[in-house]
Amino acid sequence: MGLVVRNGEIVTVGSRVKGDVYAENETVTRIGKNLEVPPGTEIIDASGKFVFPGFIDPHVHIYLPFMATFAKDTHETASIAALIGGTTTYIEMCCPNRTDDALAGYELWKSKANGKSACDYAFHMSVTKFGEETESQLREIVADGTSSFKIFLAYKNFFGVDDGEMYQTLTLAKKLGVIVTAHCENAELVARLQAQLIAEGKTGPEWHEPSRPESVEAEGTGRFATFLENTGATGYVVHLSCERALNAGVAAKERGVRLSVEAVLPHLLLDKSFAERPGVEGMKHVMSPPLRAKKNQDVLWNALSRGLVDTVGTDHCPFDVEQKLLGTDAFTNIPNGIPGIEDRVNLLYSFGVQKGRIDLDRFVDIASTRAAKLFGLYPRKGTIEVGSDADLVVFDTNYRGIVSAKTQHVNNDYNGFEGMAIEGRPSVVTVRGKVQARDGKFVGERGRGRLLKREPAYF
Where do contacts with ligand URP occur on this chain (CB under 6 A)? 61, 183, 287-288, 315, 317, 336-337
Binding mask 312-351 for Zn ion (x = CB under 5 A): ---x------------------------------------
d(CA 184, CA 192): 16
Q: Reduce the DSSP state of residue 59 to 3 states and report it.
A: strand
Backbone angles phi, psi at 185, to 5 degrees: -140, 145
d(CA 136, CA 155): 25
Q: Reduce the DSSP state of residue 314 to 3 states and report it.
A: coil
Q: Which is nearer to ligand URP, 98 or 175 (CB)?
A: 98
- Report whether 334 contacts 322 (CB < 8 A): no
- The least CB distance from residue 332 to ligand URP, in Å, is 13
Q: Which is nearer to ligand URP, 291 or 437 (CB)?
A: 291
d(CA 21, CA 31): 5
Query: Around Cβ 303, how many Cβ atoms within 10 Å?
Result: 19
d(CA 32, CA 320): 47
Which of these ranges, 164-172, 183-191, 270-278, 423-431, lies near Zn ion under the rule CB under 5 A? 183-191
Task: Name the residue whose CB lies closest to ligand URP.
Answer: 336
Among 396, 392, 443, CA closest to 422? 396
- The least CB distance from residue 266 to ligand URP, in Å, is 9
d(CA 369, CA 62): 23
Environment class of 253 (CB within 10 Å of its CB; exposed 0-12, middle 13-18, buried 19+): middle
Q: Which is nearer to Zn ion, 260 or 388 (CB)?
A: 260
Q: Which is nearer to Zn ion, 70 or 459 (CB)?
A: 70
- The least CB distance from residue 288 to ligand URP, in Å, is 4
Partners of 19 in the beta sheet? Answer: 8
Which of these ranges, 41-49, 174-182, 292-300, 311-319, lies near Zn ion under the rule CB under 5 A? 311-319
- The least CB distance from residue 449 to ligand URP, in Å, is 22
Q: Which is nearer to ligand URP, 141 or 287 (CB)?
A: 287
- The least CB distance from residue 38 to ligand URP, in Å, is 46
- Report whether 31 contacts 390 (CB < 8 A): no
- The least CB distance from residue 64 to Zn ion, in Å, is 9
- Residue 217 contact, options ligand URP, Zn ion, none, Cβ 5-8 Å cut-off depending on partner type: none
d(CA 431, CA 120): 8
Q: In 204-316, where do the E strands start and end?
A: 235-237, 259-264, 311-313
Q: Which is nearer to ligand URP, 156 or 432 (CB)?
A: 156
- Residue 427 contact, options ligand URP, Zn ion, none, Cβ 5-8 Å cut-off depending on partner type: none
**Cα→Cα distances 305→31, 159, 309, 434, Å:** 29, 32, 8, 33
Q: Which is nearer to ligand URP, 335 or 424 (CB)?
A: 335
d(CA 73, CA 80): 11
Q: Which is nearer to Zn ion, 315 or 389 (CB)?
A: 315
Q: Which is nearer to ligand URP, 184 or 420 (CB)?
A: 184
Binding mask 364-383 for Zn ion (x = CB under 5 A): --------------------
- Residue 337 contact, options Zn ion, ligand URP, none, Cβ 5-8 Å cut-off depending on partner type: ligand URP
Taking CB under 5 A as the criterion, which residues in 72-131 touch Zn ion?
none
Give the one residue of 6, 116, 150, 183 binding Zn ion; rule: CB under 5 A.
183
- The least CB distance from residue 21 to ligand URP, in Å, is 35
Any contact of residue 310 with Zn ion (CB under 5 A)?
no
Buried b (16+ CB within 10 A) or exposed e, 259-287: bbbbbbbbbbbbbbebbbeeebebbbbbb
- The least CB distance from residue 434 to Zn ion, in Å, is 29
- Residue 287 contact, options Zn ion, ligand URP, none, Cβ 5-8 Å cut-off depending on partner type: ligand URP
- The least CB distance from residue 316 to Zn ion, in Å, is 8
Q: Which is nearer to ligand URP, 334 or 422 (CB)?
A: 334
Environment class of 370 (CB within 10 Å of its CB; exposed 0-12, middle 13-18, buried 19+): buried
* Cβ neighbours of residue 190 closer than 8 Å, sequence gap 6 or more: 154, 156, 211, 212, 216
Residues in contact with Zn ion by the rule CB under 5 A: 183, 315
